[in-house]
Structure 1
Amino acid sequence: MSGMVKRATRVAERLREDLSSLLRELSDPRLAGVLVSRVELTDDLQSARIYVRNELGVEDAAARRALLKGLEAASGRLRRDVARTMGLRVVPTLRFFYDEGIDAQRRVEDLLREIKDSSGGQGS
């Protein structure tokens, strides 16, 4: 069983790399600046959760929806290209999600910076 998990992890990393390259080749303007932050693959390699974000850190919900719609529209082509480049017998279903982890981290850092700045002026 652990061999399957190890293989799934290796395949997930390779899938992340390949998708990153393939996405740069697409001409859909909704996908400009898209980055694949991580890929989670089921142990049986049937389904992949692809987490993406915009390199500029899109804060707008409408832009996030447009990005995900663009990815869904391209998923068939991406899946065919992945099958060709990776040579897998079964190509996983690609499901795309916006990775909010980086944006949340930035918000926390901004809040901490504000707290530090506001308390920095007060003192003895």
Structure 2
Amino acid sequence: MIKKYNRIQQISQEIRKKIAVILQQKIKDPRINMVTVLDVTLSRDLTYAKIFVTFLRKSRDPDANEIAIKALQGMAGFIRSLLSKNMYLRIVPKLAFIYDHSLNESIRISKLVDQVVKKEHLF
């Protein structure tokens, strides 16, 4: 069982790397600015992959992230076909892109901690 889990983990890391390169080099959509692939979760039978992404942009418009995720979902078939050309898998998983809020939340929490530290030094 450990061997199977290890294989799934290795394949998901390889898919993460390949999709990151594909999104950087092959996708030229203005709705998708700077995208970072944070993680890939595969189903046990390798038929489905959840791709967790975040976007690095200056605007804080929450609709922009939603629009970008919809654009990625629309291109999922094209990205999957490019992935199949770059990887030697019998079954290339169907891709589902999910926006990951963890990076934004960590930045927000870090700013809050900095504010508290500044207030502590004032007293």
Instruction: Calculate the TM-score normalised by the size of structure 2.
Output: 0.93
What is the match of residue 70 of structure 1? Answer: 71
Range moving further from structure 2, 109-118 or 59-68: 59-68
C-alpha separation in 2, matches of 1:32 and 1:60: 13
What is the match of residue 28 of structure 1? Answer: 29
What is the match of residue 113 of structure 1? Answer: 114
Secondary structure of 1:40's aligned partner: strand
Question: Mind listing any 5+ residue stretches in structure 2 that lack a counterpart?
Answer: none
C-alpha separation in 1, matches of 2:4 and 2:31: 35
C-alpha separation in 1, matches of 2:58 and 2:98: 14
Percent of aligned positions that are identical? 27
Aligned partner letter, 2:53: V
C-alpha separation in 1, matches of 2:58 and 2:84: 30
CA contact (8 A) 1:41 1:49 kept: yes
1:1-124 residue pairs with structure 2 within 5 A? 1-24=1-24, 25-56=26-57, 59-122=60-123
- Structure 1 moving runs of 4+ over 6 Å: none
| Aligned-pair Cα RMSD in Å | 1.3
Aligned partner letter, 1:80: S
C-alpha separation in 1, matches of 2:6 and 2:107: 31
